[in-house]
Amino acid sequence: MISVARLRRAVRRETIGVDVGAALNLVGALVKYLSLAFLFPAAVALGYGESPWPFVAAGAITAAAGFGLELATRGKERVGVREGFLVVALTWACAAGFGCLPYLLAGESQLASPANAFFESMSGFTTTGSSVLTDIESLPRGLLMWRQFTQWLGGMGIIVLALAVLPRLRVGGRQLFESEVPGPEVERLAASIRETARRLWVVYIALTGTLAALLYGFAAAGVDDRMSLYDAVAHAFTTMPTGGFSPEAESLGAFGAATQWTVIVFMLVAGTNFALLYALLARGRARALLRDEELRVYLGLVVVAGFVIVAELLAEGILEGEAAVRHGLFQAVSILTTTGYASVDFNEWTALAAVAIVGLMFLGGSAGSTAGSIKVVRHLLIGKSLRRELDLAVHPEVVAPLRFSGRPVDEKTLRAVIAFVLLYTGLFAAGALALTIDAAIGDRAVSPFEAIAAAATTLGNVGPAFGFAGPFGSFEPFSDFSKAVMIVLMWLGRLEIVPVLVLFTRRYWRA
């Protein structure tokens, strides 16, 4: 780690090895384009007869800041591998920073404090879904839609989107791409990164559109009378990125059984590797899907987790029949895929169910999906590597490459996976500790379990925690310091730790 004073000295001595100017220039360009995103909620606000000014003003400020940054620095044709980390980390921080402007400008008391607004924005872009709102439904429609929209942008990734459409990022995008797409190894869908990014977004948009159409179909056909066009789009926007924000106070609990089953299926799809989905949808390759080891384990975990929770609900008599299966499975899928919707208030379930749910926060969906957390593939590889360690204890000379879906796994990849999981658990522990200590100092009623759940849910980009921060609760009661800790955890979790953490090492900055 490096202190600020040392860094400043390093800069003065001009031994810095990172082209900060070029990186900032690119960040400026990306921020500039981000300002276009504010047009959508502005239109929604106009449509509902609300004031579009918070969005227009936020867009103008963002565009001006982006332009300013671009003008103040000198750009380069190609961003280097090193600058890539800085670009990705800063772009996400900036997205969350500028994304909270509408919350501040709208003059809503719930989001008036900068900590609250920034928390809500970071939770949005990182597709976490934790909220500081205490009375969601009192907010204007446009602002609620912006909240949903930030999750949709963050799900497949702002940089992946930029790679797909911005001509400027034609070269050197690989580093940026790999820093943002979750998973230990990025599967390419096409020869070029640009085309890969495009195809990912096409699949993403197609699935979002399908879900929105289905949900609106329920409303039109009278299957679900609580559903409307607004709700259909809003929930499609936060299901596909495994986000979890809902404009309803009761999340998915506000809707009927058909809607909930549909959302279960789409959460599962959102937690599946998009490379597989592309192979299935664009090329009709169902076999590739079945042969994929991660997918099989992922679905197996869903079944086991669902079974445990459903069994507990039935045994304790909390719910019965179809409702028990539906709500048990809904919660299992929602937490495992790191979506974070709730169909009932699982805060009131048993201790066993609560522990199971916190455990599921550490699984995450498949690599290459929009899910957060550790992800199934990493658990699988670690399990295999531990089994190999036992083998090696008896047969020290044996050479046994790990295999994943039949293909050998590089030892470097394995090392990165182990490092990631250690970093992840370390950060989780540090985060939980910080929250607990802060609560103790501030004399707030946060139990250790609630602190653990809050750290796990924010680092894993899941959403709900327990206690006052439960599925129908709010993160509002946490202190500003605790919120800052959780903002950092969300940021680290979405970018899979390394691109952010390297920025705090001396070797990164040195020539």
Q: Which residues bind other proteins (CB under 8 A)?
A: 395, 397-401, 403, 406, 408
Q: Tell me the β-bridge partners of 408.
A: 403
CB of 292 to other proteins, least distance (A): 17
Nearest to 102 by CA among 140, 67, 131, 154: 140
Angle at 174 between CA 149 and CA 190, to 5 degrees: 85
Question: CB burial class (10 A; 0-12, 13-18, 19+) of residue 168?
Answer: middle
Beta-carbon neighbour count of residue 360 at 10 Å? 26
CB of 367 to other proteins, least distance (A): 21
- By beta-carbon proximity to other proteins, the closer residue of 291 and 395 is 395
- By beta-carbon proximity to other proteins, the closer residue of 346 and 404 is 404
- By beta-carbon proximity to other proteins, the closer residue of 317 and 406 is 406
Helices (H), 181-285: 193-221, 229-239, 257-270, 274-283
CB of 468 to other proteins, least distance (A): 52
The strand pair at 407-408 and 403-404 is best described as antiparallel
- By beta-carbon proximity to other proteins, the closer residue of 284 and 406 is 406
Distance between CA atoms of residues 159 and 176, nearest Å: 7
- By beta-carbon proximity to other proteins, the closer residue of 320 and 411 is 411
CB of 392 to other proteins, least distance (A): 11
Nearest to 3 by CA among 86, 11, 269, 85: 11
Q: Tell me the β-bridge partners of 403.
A: 408
- By beta-carbon proximity to other proteins, the closer residue of 113 and 405 is 405
Distance between CA atoms of residues 37 and 2, nearest Å: 36
Question: CB burial class (10 A; 0-12, 13-18, 19+) of residue 178?
Answer: middle
CB of 467 to other proteins, least distance (A): 48
Angle at 490 between CA 487 and CA 496, to 5 degrees: 140
- By beta-carbon proximity to other proteins, the closer residue of 226 and 407 is 407
CB of 300 to other proteins, least distance (A): 22
CB of 395 to other proteins, least distance (A): 7
